Amino acid sequence: MDIQVSVIVPTHNRKNLLLRLLDSLLQQSLPAEAYEIIVVCNRVTDGSDEAVANLCRRHPCLRVLDQAQGGPAAARNAGAKVANGRYLAFTDDDCVVSRGWLNELVETLNRFVAVGVEGRTVTIPSLCTPLTHQMESNGTVFVAPTCNVAYRRDAFEEIGGFEERFPFAHNEDADLAWRIEALGQICYAPEALVIHPPRPESFKNMVLWVRYFESEFLLFARNPVAYRKHRSRSPWVTIYWKIFVDSNFQRGKAAIKDTLFRGRPDYSLLQLALILARSCFLIGLFPRFFHASHASRPSAASYSRA
């Protein structure tokens, strides 16, 4: 049987989480000979590469690559270059996929003759705290996050794969999806389920996360029409209204609920501290964002042709 789909997983020093993901990938309802798993180890130092190599000896559908430089976008592109499947599926090393995940993605791509398909991503609410990172996506906002998406390989190759010049690992998934969308339909498959369990983070990392919004300017420069369609009229509105105002308002409401309904005043204090720290940091990032907005402009025409 020919390989129908190649699953590409970039990883960096998350061995235990990676092994949890691989356990779910190796138990797919899709026949084992119909898919392959390509793990791209990006400068790992925790033995992830050796652990995957050991699994490869028992599972012929599993391969491992070493990536000496670049971030997750470069790692995904490296995996795509050696993939054999008609379709390319992407997920992240801190996720767990449902048993029918690949089957649903492949069936949806075949049924609708689509160029891509996004699945449904959920988290575990009871494990969420102010200091956890988690992801949820139900298809209402078109992002097609790389924790749960698949594309036709020929479409992926036609648009040149992931853009590797984003300053942080943020928005390269939206950029790819918006460019592929110009080639055809991207469907939503709610039964293609991925669980993104909450991952503990430090207070410092939760504050520094707002740096990632520098990527909004490159995303806008490359896809101005799609950006206005799917996100907002400009990166400034996204950052300083949707994030600075609206997101902080939602976090403030969560702080009240933590005390009133969860009996966790400590969570409420953490929420309020995050609001204050992120707001101050976001204001301080204004000069950097201003520079990024101007640095992106000269390249906008060439990006739009990419």
* Tens of each residue's pLDDT in the chain, 306 residues: 789 999 999 999 999 999 999 999 999 999 999 999 999 999 899 999 999 999 999 999 999 999 887 889 999 999 999 999 999 999 999 999 999 999 999 999 999 989 999 999 999 999 999 999 999 998 877 778 999 999 999 999 999 999 999 988 899 999 999 999 999 999 999 999 999 999 999 999 999 999 999 999 999 999 999 999 999 999 999 999 888 888 888 889 988 988 898 899 999 999 999 999 999 999 999 999 999 998 877 444 444 434
Residue with tokens 């075949």: 110
Q: Which two tokens stand for residue 221?
A: 């420069």
Reduced to 3 states (helix: H, G, I; strand: E, B; else coil), residue 248 is helix
Do 151 and 48 fall within a single domain?
yes
Do 188 and 222 fall within a single domain?
no
Reduced to 3 states (helix: H, G, I; strand: E, B; else coil), residue 6 is strand
Do 116 and 82 fall within a single domain?
yes
H helices of the chain, in order, are 15-25, 48-58, 72-81, 101-112, 153-158, 172-181, 203-208, 215-222, 224-230, 235-237, 248-260, 265-284, 286-296, 300-305
Do 115 and 168 fall within a single domain?
yes
Alpha carbons 1 and 287: distance in angstroms, whole number: 56
Do 194 and 278 fall within a single domain?
no
Choose one of 201, 231, 254: the last residue of a domain: 201
Do 222 and 134 fall within a single domain?
no
Choose one of 201, 230, 249: the last residue of a domain: 201
Do 146 and 31 fall within a single domain?
yes
Closest CA relative to residue 145, chosen from 135, 132, 155 = 135
Q: Which two tokens stand for residue 238?
A: 């996204």
Q: Please check whether residue 208 lies inside any domain of the structure.
A: no
Do 157 and 254 fall within a single domain?
no
Q: Please check whether residue 210 lies inside any domain of the structure.
A: no
Q: Please check whether residue 212 lies inside any domain of the structure.
A: no
Reduced to 3 states (helix: H, G, I; strand: E, B; else coil), residue 194 is strand
Q: Please check whether residue 280 lies inside any domain of the structure.
A: yes
Distances (CA, A) of 44 to 66, 169, 270: 8, 17, 32
Choose one of 201, 235, 256: the last residue of a domain: 201
Closest CA relative to residue 192, chosen from 156, 155, 231, 144 = 144
Do 288 and 246 fall within a single domain?
yes
Predicted pLDDT at 251: 85
Reduced to 3 states (helix: H, G, I; strand: E, B; else coil), residue 30 is coil
For residue 167, the 8-state DSSP code is: S
Pairing of β 62-67 and β 199-200:
unpaired
Which residue segment(s) compose the domain that 275 sits in? 218-305
Q: Which two tokens stand for residue 153?
A: 């390989």
Q: Are 59 and 81 in contact (CB under 8 A)?
A: no
Q: Please check whether residue 207 lies inside any domain of the structure.
A: no
Q: How many domains does the chain have?
A: 2
Do 149 and 294 fall within a single domain?
no
Q: Are 153 and 87 in contact (CB under 8 A)?
A: yes
Do 239 and 140 fall within a single domain?
no
Q: Counting Cβ atoms within 10 Å, is residue 201 exposed (0-12), middle (13-18) or buried (19+)? A: middle
